Structure 1
Amino acid sequence: MKLLYQQMLAFFGVLLVAMAIISVMFIRSTSNNVWQNSFDQLEQYTDVLTDRAVDRSTYLIDTQFIQHSEEILKKQNVHFMIYDADNTARYPQFAGTPRGAAIASKYWKQLKKGESVALPELTTNPRNGKQQSMTIYYKPVFLSGKLLFVIAAFAPVDNIQTSIKKTEYNLFIAFLLSMLVAIVLSYLLARYQVGRINRLRQVTHQVAEGNYDVDVEIKSRSHDEIAGLADDFQDMLGSLRDSQAEIHRQEERRRQFMADAAHEMRTPLTTINGLLEGLAYDAIPEESKGQSIELMRNETKRLIRLVNENLDYEKIRTNQILLKKQTFNATEALNDIMVQLKQKAADADDTLVLDAAANVPVYADRDRFVQILFNIAQNAIQFTKGGTITISAKPGYHQTELAVTDTGIGMTEDQVKNIWERYYKADPSRKNTKYGESGLGLAIVHQLVTLHGGTIDVQSQKDEGTTFTLTFPDEETAPQQAPITHTK
């Protein structure tokens, strides 16, 4: 069964049950009120007869008054009877009055106690003994504690039943009309709810077909569950769009990296192959063979470095590296880096400056610490020509603070946002530098700093230079090994 009909039946069922209960209660209440009103009227008639038709001193009955009253109430078919203390009918007195018209003993006992008796349905007419549904009210009249008379007022039940049937008929018509309105209302409510769900289904189908540029528009005055589901679905669409965009971007990075890696590998491999062929066929003069072998060694180192960077990145990314942290003098490690990079800086006409005290303690894995600072400093040299690269270190509050500042070409805001991404190159034109550019150096740096529980930040302005700021927590505050947050 479709959800529309399920919802419609649910709404209609609730309305139907509610209206049926209300109708039954209304009929019962109306019936009780009609019966009670009938008894109240009969009681009022007996009160009038008590005051006007019976002389308590002479025990005489004013039959003319009673007959006159019956004539007035003729249309209502109201009649009266009066019984004496012996349960004998004193009014009316005519030869045809049956002997069995006396009040039943169980009711007579109540009357003698001074209790009025109301009977909703008496099957025998007390006046003529015929079978007829009657409603009757008995009222005792006392004088000085002694029962004098019992006045009975009775009327056919047909009048009451007719009134009740009219009420039931009118209620039945109202019930039918209400059912029609309930059907229309339940259909509209069900259609509204199902329409909102169908809009979600349509968007779901579009997403399943690969279209993430859709919006879920479900308006509701009250934020109900369907509206909440639509909001969650919209958030999911936003995440899917972001993920899809990231997938496309990473795919472009991967393709670019594969092209760069293939190009960088092809160049040294071509060089090595050419030199080997020259040596094999004695095409290289004897005095140049040493230089050729040195060139092949350099190209081989270049290939090894490229492969090692990829292996390092994957090991770090999969948490396969275990840091061996210890406290050591960062200044000594930085001096070693200065010596290693001295020739590279000289080739670029750069000046290396170390700004650090003789002893600056740092808590880190020494080899990885050197790798981090070496990559950052080497990166600074590659993008600085005829400038200055300053490496500084100082103790901080529960941490060691370091910075690498250059006066190179700098970066734009967009480049700064992306430098930690794998395969990203801030300057694609520098693919074939002497020291190679895989696009993995800074990604590895970022992950290694994170693994130490430290922080790394970069500030740069185009054509004005760049500053990398790093912190390493001391032994008291450093985590054993911080979890890796994967770069994009």
Structure 2
Amino acid sequence: MIRTLYMRIAIVIFIVVWCSLALSSFTFSHYYRNQLNNRVEGLLQNAAKLVIRLIQETETQQIAQTVSIAGKLSRGQELYLYAETGESYMSRPGSASNCAISGETVRLVLDGGSYSSFRNEGGDACPQGSVGASFEYAGKKYALFVTAVTPNPPRKLDFFDFRNLWTIILISTFLIALAAVYLVRPLKKITAATEKIAGGDFDVRLQINQKDELGVLASSITHMAGELKKMEKMRQEFVTSVSHDIQTPLTSIRGFSKLLQQDTLDREERLGYLKLIESESERLSRLSENLLKLASLDSEHHPHHPKTIQLDEQLRRAVVASEPLWAGKKLDIELELDSVRIVADEDSLSQVWTNLLHNAIKFTPSGGRITITVGRDEKQATVSIADTGIGIAPEDQGHIFRRFYKADASRQTSEWSGNGLGLAIVKKIVDLHGAKISFSSAVNEGTTFVVHFPLKS
């Protein structure tokens, strides 16, 4: 069983080449034989006409001499003359190449018919080819046959000269092997590249400059390797970030637990450590909850139940639910909410507004202002959440939707310390709804997030 692509390609090319050669040889030989036969037949017929004219212009007693002279003048041809009275004349009596013409054929021509070995299938031993013509002279009927001395091309030409057959086979096999190597070499490179990728090595650069399908495949594999390398880097960063965010509160909890074991602590110190342990536990709980939420959003089985919701009403509920947070910082909340209905998953969308609103509260100093606007036009509904907070530095603005990315940890208090997953969750939910999110920000001037929802009929 042939298992290698190299052998398959070589065998297929070999079969195709030899079948094509055999077919073309057969077609050419058939065409060549017909053309050559027609040409030889025409030459013999013209020669027969000239000899008949010459005989008719000579004396009857000189017929034998005339046939002999005409045969000598007609190089490559032999003449046979038969009379109805039984006499026969040959241009070259005793020649080894004499043609045996049957009496039936002679009678056919004497009776006024015509004969051609190129057209009539008979038993005459005239392998060279001959034609017969009848004429009358001096009151007698004659049959003249003109035969070609040079061999007539065979009825079926051989496909190959067997003396050179093995040479042809060796040369063609070598060329086919080279062609197969040319075709298979890129596939070997691609196979080696995929094996490296499967082994975790994504530094793959396929140098295949072909413009055909193999070139496109090689380019796609190189691109895929680059994307996998980026994903692997993101995965490593993700694991590092998760490990750090889990390890940090666990270390704090373990340290405070050891302190609580001391008998020298008074009640206030003990309560303080317990509050810190509670805070760190809540931090772990939020991290776990966000990780589960992202895992659910990334999966194909995330529950998504779109229905018609009143967008302005949902935002009012989110603001009311966050009242303890913004009231504690004495923030001014401004609402400009038009009545807008959209089709969306209510629970997921509620988390988007909660995360964006909490971020705005977190990074807005006391006494600041948060403005929430809802509007619509013919094509889309727009939600804008703007604050007068600390803003986002230009170097951080391209990364804020990355998982575990924290723009400026120094600005976060222990109460508001986050894990860098909130905006990643927001972006994922917005994408699942077919919506778009954008933002604008300036340091110490504030940040505005805008979400555009396409209106569905």
1:329 is paired with a residue whose SS is helix
* Distance in 1 separating the partners of 2:281 and 2:116: 121
CA drift of 1:263 comes to 0.6
Distance 1:246 1:38, change over 3 A: same
Matched, 1:447 2:445: no
Structure 1: stretches of 5+ with no match in the other structure: 54-60, 93-100, 126-131, 221-226, 478-488
1:11-90 equivalent positions in 2, closer than 5 A: 12-14=17-19, 16-18=21-23, 20-22=25-27, 24-25=29-30, 28-29=33-34, 32-33=37-38, 35-37=40-42, 39-49=44-54, 51-53=56-58, 61-64=59-62, 67-74=65-72, 76=76, 78-81=78-81, 83-84=83-84, 87-89=85-87
User: Mean alpha-carbon deviation: is it higher for 199-208 or for 179-188?
Assistant: 179-188
The aligned counterpart of 2:266 is: 284
2:150 is paired with a residue whose SS is helix
* Distance in 2 separating the partners of 1:354 and 1:309: 29
Matched, 1:137 2:132: yes
Distance 1:294 1:421, change over 3 A: closer
* Distance in 2 separating the partners of 1:91 and 1:35: 23
* Distance in 2 separating the partners of 1:68 and 1:254: 114
Distance 1:211 1:181, change over 3 A: farther
Matched, 1:204 2:184: no
Distance 1:387 1:456, change over 3 A: farther
1:160 is paired with a residue whose SS is coil
* Distance in 2 separating the partners of 1:183 and 1:436: 78
The aligned counterpart of 1:254 is: 239
Matched, 1:374 2:354: yes
Distance 1:136 1:355, change over 3 A: closer
* Distance in 2 separating the partners of 1:406 and 1:208: 52
2:352 is paired with a residue whose SS is helix
CA drift of 1:468 comes to 0.8
Confirm or deny: 8 A CA contact 1:455 1:471 kept in the other structure. Answer: yes
Instruction: Find 2:205's aligned residue among 214, 232, 249.
Output: 214
Instruction: Find 2:226's aligned residue among 227, 234, 241.
Output: 241
The aligned counterpart of 2:113 is: 115
1:167-206 equivalent positions in 2, closer than 5 A: 184=171, 187-188=174-175, 190-206=177-193
The aligned counterpart of 1:57 is: none
Confirm or deny: 8 A CA contact 1:46 1:139 kept in the other structure. Answer: no
* Distance in 1 separating the partners of 2:346 and 2:214: 52
CA drift of 1:298 comes to 4.5
* Distance in 1 separating the partners of 2:383 and 2:439: 12
The aligned counterpart of 2:96 is: none
Confirm or deny: 8 A CA contact 2:388 2:446 kept in the other structure. Answer: yes
CA drift of 1:208 comes to 1.2
Confirm or deny: 8 A CA contact 2:109 2:143 kept in the other structure. Answer: no
User: Mean alpha-carbon deviation: is it higher for 236-245 or for 383-392?
Assistant: 383-392
The aligned counterpart of 1:308 is: 289
Amino-acid identity (%): 19
Cα deviations by residue, 1:321-346 (Å, 9 ceiling, x for unpaired) = 45585436246325415523225645
CA drift of 1:441 comes to 1.1
Counterpart residue identity of residue 306, structure 1: L
Cα deviations by residue, 1:420-454 (Å, 9 ceiling, x for unpaired) = 23222233545763222111111222233345554
1:417-436 equivalent positions in 2, closer than 5 A: 417-429=398-410, 433-436=414-417
Instruction: Find 1:160's aligned residue among 140, 143, 150.
Output: 150
User: Mean alpha-carbon deviation: is it higher for 44-53 or for 365-374?
Assistant: 365-374
CA drift of 1:205 comes to 1.2
* Distance in 2 separating the partners of 1:9 and 1:418: 58
The aligned counterpart of 1:56 is: none
* Distance in 1 separating the partners of 2:271 and 2:130: 136
Confirm or deny: 8 A CA contact 1:30 1:164 kept in the other structure. Answer: no
Counterpart residue identity of residue 446, structure 1: K
Instruction: Find 1:342's aligned residue among 294, 310, 326.
Output: 326
Distance 1:288 1:14, change over 3 A: closer
* Distance in 1 separating the partners of 2:13 and 2:294: 60
Counterpart residue identity of residue 376, structure 2: G
The aligned counterpart of 1:395 is: 375
Confirm or deny: 8 A CA contact 2:82 2:89 kept in the other structure. Answer: yes
Distance 1:217 1:268, change over 3 A: same
Instruction: Find 1:9's aligned residue among 14, 38, 49.
Output: 14
CA drift of 1:259 comes to 0.6
Counterpart residue identity of residue 150, structure 2: I
